[in-house]
Amino acid sequence: MIITQVDIWTVVVPVFPETVHSEEYGGYPDWARVPKQIIRLHTDEGFTGIGETGRGQSKEAVAQAAEQLKNRDVMKMCLQNVFRQEPLKPTPEAPSQWEIDLGPYPAGYEAFETAIFDLIGKRLGVPIHKLLGGACREKVRADFWIGHQTPEDTRRSTKVAIARGFTGLKTKCRIQEPMVERLRAIWEVGGSDFKVTVDPNERFNTVEQTLELAGQLKELDNVEVFEDPIPKKGLRDDVLAQYRYMREMLPFPLALHLSNPSDIIKAIRADAIDYLNLGGSMVNFAKSAAIAQAADIPVWHGSGNDLGILEKSYLHAASVAPNCLLASDFVGSWTRVDDLIVEGFTFTNGYTLVPQTPGLGCELDLDALEKYRVDG
């Protein structure tokens, strides 16, 4: 099955302003204006595969990467890095030792990996998760998501979350925001069983401020986890010691958002975490989750407020990890005004179903694609 053509579209899909930040905290987010690239691979057998980059990848860089895949046989690719053409070899300096690095990974790698897996799944008649080792469950936990919001807007968002089928949410925040009032607004609508992931993106600043806020929130009994409360600073030893101390003192679990396997190992060895928020390509997520599983660390799949293609790939990857037990972030499917796919997400009682149709389990919505493309 030979790749004969690669289509690339640059898109900017707006978000619903009310799902992100209140006007008091900046209103419409700058990241929602950052373009993404959508790709479609064509083959000589008539199969097509689709992919989506993260934010900020240039069309030129993605096009350069695409040239490396043209005229390649998809069924002969190394699925741990679809761009690699040579097998690992003994090192010239020490022939008894072998290379272990499968890189490099070019711009927009996740998009190409997804598209290749989509092609192979369609050719073989199996969903992508089968190619990753097989889904461990039929559905994956998922939470609602809000940005920086006033307590009043948070109360409204919580009602929307429950109406949409969610049983918890993640909130972005800073230490100077009215966090007690915000989480009390969530509690007043959803009660203690409607759980909250508190994610300040390292903006609780200090251990002392983090622990003080945690003490104020404890009585509400609706916090599921604190994620990245203070600056990680490259996971220096002193920072890991601070995280280990917070883990001992916090009344609820502590998580780090990591993607580098060496960082994951460092955090585990330092006893600095209860949970992990992981990302990366599908294959690399599965590898990172396996490292965490070996240490009995539950994980969830993060998101960059992406569109439907990329978030479907997250869903396949999350379904494969036995320890992906926490609510993952498939949030772009409803924070954006369109996800650009035909078969979107549905949420029921805090879960979304794992696709069972061949490949990715969705196709491009070409009308929506034309509406939101910005490359003419």
260 alpha-carbon distance from chain centroid: 14
What is the pLDDT averaged over residues 29-55?
Answer: 97
Report the pLDDT value the prediction gives residue 199, as an integer from 0 to 100. 97
- Rounded to two decimals, what is the model's pTM? 0.96
What is the pLDDT averaged over residues 295-309?
Answer: 96
Q: Per-residue pLDDT for 94 more than 80?
A: no
State the Cα–Cα distance between residues 339 and 92, nearest whole angstrom.
48
Report the pLDDT value the prediction gives residue 133, as an integer from 0 to 100. 97
Report the pLDDT value the prediction gives residue 92, as an integer from 0 to 100. 80
- Matching residue, tokens 């968002």: 157
Backbone CA torsion sign across 314, 320, 321, 326: positive
Per residue in 151-178, pLDDT tens? Answer: 999 999 999 999 999 999 999 999 999 9
CATH architecture of 139-353: Alpha-Beta Barrel (3.20)
Cβ neighbours for 210, distance < 8 A, ≥ 6 positions apart: 204, 226, 229, 230, 246, 250
> Do the first three CATH levels of 3-126 and 139-353 match, i.e. the same topology?
no
- Residues 252 and 245: beta-carbon distance below 8 Å: no
* pLDDT greater at residue 204 or residue 375: 204
Q: Taking the domains of the chain in order of start, what are their residue ranges?
A: 3-126, 139-353
Report the pLDDT value the prediction gives residue 84, as an integer from 0 to 100. 93
Of 98-107, 222-231, 235-244, 300-309, the least confident: 98-107
Specify the CATH number of the domain 3-126: 3.30.390.10
- Residues 329 and 302: beta-carbon distance below 8 Å: yes
Report the pLDDT value the prediction gives residue 375, as an integer from 0 to 100. 86
Give the DSSP H or E segment for 307: none
Q: How confident is the model at residue 108 (pLDDT cuts 50, 70, 90)?
A: very high
Q: Per-residue pLDDT for 37 more than 90?
A: yes
What is the pLDDT averaged over residues 329-353?
Answer: 93
Report the pLDDT value the prediction gives residue 103, as an integer from 0 to 100. 84
Nearest of 181, 256, 203, 255 to residue 224 by alpha carbon: 255
* Tally of helices (H runs) and strands (E runs) in the chain: 12, 12
Report the pLDDT value the prediction gives residue 101, as an integer from 0 to 100. 83
Q: What three-state secondary structure class fits 6?
A: strand
Report the pLDDT value the prediction gives residue 150, as an integer from 0 to 100. 97
Q: Helix, strand, coil: what percent of the chain each, to 5?
A: 40, 20, 45
104: preceding bond cis by omega (within 30 degrees): yes
**Percent of the chain residues past pLDDT 70, beyond the cut:** 99
Q: Per-residue pLDDT for 93 more than 90?
A: no
Do the bridges between strand 168-172 and strand 195-199 make them parallel or antiparallel, or are there none, so unpaired? parallel
Q: How confident is the model at residue 376 (pLDDT cuts 50, 70, 90)?
A: low
Report the pLDDT value the prediction gives residue 98, as an integer from 0 to 100. 84
